[in-house]
Amino acid sequence: MSTYNEQAKPKVTTALLRKMKQNGEKIACITSYDYTMATIADAAGADFILVGDSASNVMMGNETTLPITLDEMITYAKGTVKGAKRAMVVVDMPFGTYQADPLTALHSAVRIMKETGASAVKMEGGEEIRESIEKVLCAGIPVCGHLGLTPQSVNKFGGYGVRAKEDAEAERLINDARMLEELGCFAVVLEKIPSGLAARVAKEVSIPVIGIGAGSDVDGQIIVIQDMLGMNKGFKPKFLRVYADMFEAMGNAVGQYVSDVKDVTFPNANEQY
Ligand code: KIV
């Protein structure tokens, strides 16, 4: 396998991400929830690996991100951190672990940092969680914001449609992005919003803007690894590019193994002691 990391690039930090934005170098982000996927993403040159609460869907089979717990996120993050040698690992704070009050947010974020060795956390929301973000930042924990479609609020939105199409919501989103920058967040994810709005935010704030379903005029992109590998058959939103059919490839390999076991062609003489 040819690896982007063969060029011995420096370990990714919040400062490096900011420099990449300043230099116009796009930031490639991807999710991972385990050691093996993290080694693949890291060796392939991903700059930023997110242990997303999308683990609730793709790892646990839940319909939403709401049920996943802090303990479960910490387990997924521990394996991911071990596999990421160069990439920066950021961990989603799951639903209910930061919205209630700043102290709860701080305790949750401290657990993530202490128990996983990750470099930062991500929190969904703007003005409504300002105090929680401030408290976490005060402890020296880097925070990535997340605006637009924030899946933890799916019940409020009533679905996973495109956000901020109307002027009032777009204006609120711009103000929230400015607030995240002023508070000291190191980056912000913009999910499923009009590309023109995302481009405007990326121009107006100095912190990296990472898009998913937000067009190309932002500072980087993020994608769920199972989705781009074609492992998640039924999921085909407009913004998704599928780079492989791993459902088929892995299914064929497992099917061949099953058939080899049944007709006793595995193991052969060279595959035993
Ligand atoms: O949980 C997740 O994977 C995310 C990304 C889609 C941004 O938040």
Q: What local confidence, expressed as pLDDT, does residue 115 receive?
A: 98
Asked whether residue 177 falls in the same domain as residue 272, the answer is no
CB distance 31 to ligand 1 below 6 Å: yes
> Rounded to an integer, what distance in angstroms lies between the CA atom of residue 249 and that of residue 247?
6
CB distance 93 to ligand 1 below 6 Å: no
The mean pLDDT of 22-50, rounded to a whole number, is 98
The mean pLDDT of 6-35, rounded to a whole number, is 93
CA of 54 to the centre of ligand 1 (A): 6
- Beta-bridged to residue 30, according to DSSP, are 49, 223
Asked whether residue 227 falls in the same domain as residue 179, the answer is yes
Asked whether residue 249 falls in the same domain as residue 150, the answer is no
Q: What local confidence, expressed as pLDDT, does residue 41 receive?
A: 98
Tell me which residue range forms the domain holding 273: 245-273
pLDDT at 11 over 70: yes
Specify the residue with its C-alpha closest to ligand 1, atom 2: 52
pLDDT in tens, 103-126: 999 999 999 999 999 999 999 999
Give the confidence band of 4 by pLDDT, cuts at 50, 70, 90: low
Asked whether residue 123 falls in the same domain as residue 29, the answer is yes
**Catalytic annotation, pick one of 191, 204, 248, 271:** 191
Q: What local confidence, expressed as pLDDT, does residue 234 receive?
A: 86
> Rounded to an integer, what distance in angstroms lies between the CA atom of residue 215 and that of residue 155?
25
Percentage of residues of the chain with pLDDT beyond 90: 96
> Rounded to an integer, what distance in angstroms lies between the CA atom of residue 76 and that of residue 92?
11
Q: What local confidence, expressed as pLDDT, does residue 158 receive?
A: 97
CB distance 92 to ligand 1 below 6 Å: yes
For position 112, which CATH number holds? 3.20.20.60
> Domain for residue 155, yes or no?
yes
pLDDT at 262 over 60: yes
Asked whether residue 163 falls in the same domain as residue 266, the answer is no
Specify the residue with its C-alpha closest to ligand 1, atom 8: 52
Asked whether residue 236 falls in the same domain as residue 254, the answer is no
pLDDT at 19 over 60: yes
Other residues' Cβ atoms within 10 Å of the Cβ of residue 94: 24
The mean pLDDT of 189-198, rounded to a whole number, is 98
Q: Is the pTM of this model over 0.85?
A: yes
Let me know the angle formed at the C-alpha of 13 by 120 and 202, rounded to the nearest 5 degrees: 85
The mean pLDDT of 182-199, rounded to a whole number, is 98
CA of 256 to the centre of ligand 1 (A): 34
Total structural domains within the chain: 2
The answer to whether 191 is a known catalytic residue is: yes
Q: What local confidence, expressed as pLDDT, does residue 9 receive?
A: 79
Q: What are the E-state strand segments in the chain?
A: 27-31, 48-51, 88-92, 120-124, 143-148, 187-191, 209-212, 220-223
Residue 214 token pair = 């937000």
CB distance 199 to ligand 1 below 6 Å: no
For residue 195, give the nearest of 172, 170, 222 by alpha carbon. Answer: 170
Asked whether residue 32 falls in the same domain as residue 152, the answer is yes
